[in-house]
Structure 1
């Protein structure tokens, strides 16, 4: 399996650490990472973890301006891409086809090659333009998974909430995540 992960400058960059940790636990999963300049800045604001903790879990890290990277071509075969978190600027670029950086170009490539793309948009509340762009991205073939709180699984920590979101993302690629607690129904 070969997955591209894009990390943009929206709030919630630490969620990408949990995503990469989950992907790293999958046997024979090759992880290609693009982390935007704004994401690097937010990393320093939002987490006490060294950025190297994130970078060490990848197989290859690309510079966001490296439009000539292998992942910018459809001939480089992947199973798809996850953008977590996905800023509204990145979402707008995706829906407009304005691939001025490698994250948006890699999404564009995945979409044109009919590969899975999961976007984890981070904004609150969503404005009309955000909602329009999410609908447009969904119409283009993206799966939209906002990091929404879930309570049916009995979460006790923020990490429990993040693991639920990671489980939902990985389900899109047919991957079972052991830390994901699915709905088991309700006895009446």
Structure 2
């Protein structure tokens, strides 16, 4: 008897977390997407991100993993998200370290996070990179320019003021709203310029 594989009808989004500061942005994004029944999240966490999660947040690594629909080992270069034939809407790397930016820019896919980003670029899917570093060196800027020239979208987690944030959570939500807007995902409480939020 032939066994049929179950194919997901949800839209898939790959989320990479690397070792830059700002781990809470990736965590909050996963929380928002976990409440969205139309989307399936595929998570890859680097060792550096695990350290940052422990240092910057009150979450355990298992708690973060449990927010995703699927979790992939960064060493598993043969995972589904390493192939262009695995259908996704794209990938977000949040936060994104300068090491990861450099790896993607050079096509140095020595782990699953870098390989998934490389696949996203070659398949001409949406790749959003959220780099966390300040100040930026000429090397950082050149690498980000290289990514931008391949079609990647660079969204530094910049503080905005026109939305009149009252808390760090408000600022984080605005950043996440800008990121997910690239995939036409509406985020509750995201304040667009010229619009009011009910």
TM-score range, shorter chain: over 0.9
> Are positions 1:110 and 2:120 aligned together?
yes
What do residues 118-176 of structure 1 show as CA deviations (whole Å, max 9, x unaligned)? 00000001111111111110101100000000011010111111100000001101111
What do residues 47-75 of structure 1 show as CA deviations (whole Å, max 9, x unaligned)? 11222221111111111111010110001
What do residues 10-44 of structure 1 show as CA deviations (whole Å, max 9, x unaligned)? 11111111111121122221100000011111111
Which secondary structure does the structure 2 equivalent of 1:163 belong to?
A: helix
> Are positions 1:99 and 2:109 aligned together?
yes
Counterpart position of 1:75:
85
Residue in structure 2 matching 1:119, options 102, 113, 129: 129
TM-score norm. by structure 2 comes to 0.91
Cα deviation for residue 7 of structure 1 reads 0.2
Q: Distance in 1 between matches of 2:94 and 2:50?
A: 13
Structure 1 gap segments, 5+ residues each: none
Number of aligned residue pairs: give it.
185
Q: Distance in 2 between matches of 1:28 and 1:50?
A: 26
> Are positions 1:147 and 2:141 aligned together?
no
Cα deviation for residue 81 of structure 1 reads 0.2
Residue in structure 1 matching 2:47, options 37, 43, 51: 37
Q: Report which of the two structures shows the higher radius of gyration computed on alpha carbons.
A: 2
Counterpart position of 1:56:
66
TM-score norm. by structure 1 comes to 0.96
Q: Distance in 2 between matches of 1:15 and 1:52?
A: 17
CA-based RMSD: 1.0
Counterpart position of 1:180:
190
Cα deviation for residue 93 of structure 1 reads 0.5
Q: Distance in 1 between matches of 2:78 and 2:134?
A: 34
Runs of 4 or more, structure 1, over 6 Å off, are none
Counterpart position of 2:172:
162
Structure 2 gap segments, 5+ residues each: 1-10
